[in-house]
Amino acid sequence: MLCSDVRPANRKLHTIFQRLLISITFFFILLSYGNLYAAQVKLSFTPGNDSSVAGHKIYYGKSTSFSNVEDIKDATTYLIPDLQEGITYYFAAKAYDKYGNLSEFSEIISYKIPNQIQEPDNNEPDNNKPENSTNNFSEFTEDFENYAVDDNPTDWFDTSANNSMAEDNRLFKIFNINSNNVFGTSSTLTNIHSHHIKSYIENLSLIEYSGRMMITDPDGGIGITFLSHYPFTDAYYRLRCTKSLSSFHLAPHPHATARVFGTTDTGVKPKANQWYRFRIELRDTGVQTEILAKVWPENASEPSHWQIEAYDDTQNRLISGTFGVWSGGAGKKYWDDLEIFQ
């Protein structure tokens, strides 16, 4: 047996967490059309620079005995779902090396999950909602210039291939294109998503979603999602183009039944390395969800008419959800200048 194959005895990784800080993002996610919420906590931390680190484990529970442990490999963020309202939870992390040796615990932090948000009984403002609750969303604008190249923005939740709802935060990051920072992916995996977890709309009235996007290969697919229930349910509306230069069109999930009617195709076929602007207007009329959309080359004038005029009047139409991006196929895909307004 080679000496390098011998597992070191009782090795402690003292230097892995010189000062590990865990930050918490707390948010409620509406799971249905009633008043059912799921309490979520997203942990993020900054490890030390020990090159022997092979991965991390997250510990959490209702006491510092930590009834739950999750191996998150080399990730530095982790979403913990289904936490009980009104309960204080404790969180910590450890690192491990290739032999399975564990570091000591990081700083232990605690967080009390607020009780389910209730609608106020009058017209007075509700000041008891958590500061970062998704109920507080009013508008979102992002040009990604406040990030560095290769950053992974913490408010974006990346999910794995083939419409998986499992987190994979390696898929999307910041690129610099012609001296502008943009959000993008170089992955050629099929059906990957990233969703902005703080732009969750509880009850749709009238929303506008705009921005720009670009592919670098004609066999690449690119799109944006809206009123999405990711990462809890594979349900959303989507404007996308697929490989072989299909035009931008509506492609909702799930595909099981046709539920979007009207004009659903823009007729705009994107060229590689050309930015395309998009504008989407969403409205809940009480009986149907209306979707109006247009796409045009950035170097051209915005069309005066909606290219897509569609609606969903089925029982499972979407009137809540978050917003994000979708990718599949060859080449790189980029998004920029994203804006959402109520």
Task: Summarize pLDDT for 228-283 with one digit per residue, the tens.
Answer: 988 778 889 999 999 766 899 999 988 655 689 999 999 999 999 999 999 999 99
Written as six digits, the tokens of 94 are 């450890």
Answer whether residue 130 shows pLDDT above 60: no
Tell me the longest C-alpha to C-alpha distance in the chain: 75
Supply the pLDDT for residue 258: 62
Supply the pLDDT for residue 22: 47
Answer whether residue 10 shows pLDDT above 70: no
Burial class (CB in 10 A: 0-12, 13-18, 19+), 141: exposed
Written as six digits, the tokens of 174 are 């910041």
Homologous superfamily of 3-121+125-134 in CATH? Answer: Immunoglobulins (2.60.40.10)
Q: Which pLDDT tens digit goes with each residue over 178-191?
A: 999 999 999 999 99
pTM above 0.75, yes or no: no
Q: Which residues pair with 321 in a beta bridge?
A: 201
Annotated domain spans of the chain: 3-121+125-134, 137-341
Averaged pLDDT for residues 8-23: 44
Using CA atoms, how far apart are residues 274 and 239, in angstroms rounded to an integer? 17
Supply the pLDDT for residue 137: 57
Q: Which pLDDT tens digit goes with each residue over 62-110?
A: 877 788 898 988 887 788 877 887 788 888 888 888 888 888 777 777 7
Supply the pLDDT for residue 123: 38
Q: What amino acid is encoded at 183 in this protein? A: F
Supply the pLDDT for residue 271: 94
Instruction: Give the confidence band of 116 by pLDDT, cuts at 50, 70, 90.
Output: low
Supply the pLDDT for residue 257: 53
What average pLDDT is seen over the chain?
Answer: 80
Map the chain to HEC letters. Answer: CCHHHCCCCCCCCCCCCCCCCEEEEEEEEECCCCCCEEEEEEEEECCCCCCCCCEEEEEEECCCCCCEEEEEECCCEEEEEEECCCCEEEEEEEEECCCCCECCCCCCEEEECCCCCCCCCCCCCCCCCCCCCHHHCCEEEECCCCCCCCCCCCCEEEECCCCCCCECCCCCEEEEECCEEEEEECCCCCCEEEEEEEEEECCCCEEEEEEEEEECCCCEEEEEEEEECCCCCCCEEEEEECCCCCCCEECCECCCCCCCEEECECCCCCCCCCCEEEEEEEEECCCCEEEEEEEEECCCCCCCCCCEEEEECCCCCCCCEEEEEEEEECCCEEEEEEEEEC
Q: What amino acid is encoded at 130 in this protein? A: P
Instruction: Give the confidence band of 214 by pLDDT, cuts at 50, 70, 90.
Output: very high
Residue pair 76/45 in contact by the 8 Å Cβ criterion: yes
CATH 2.60.120.560 correct for 137-341: yes
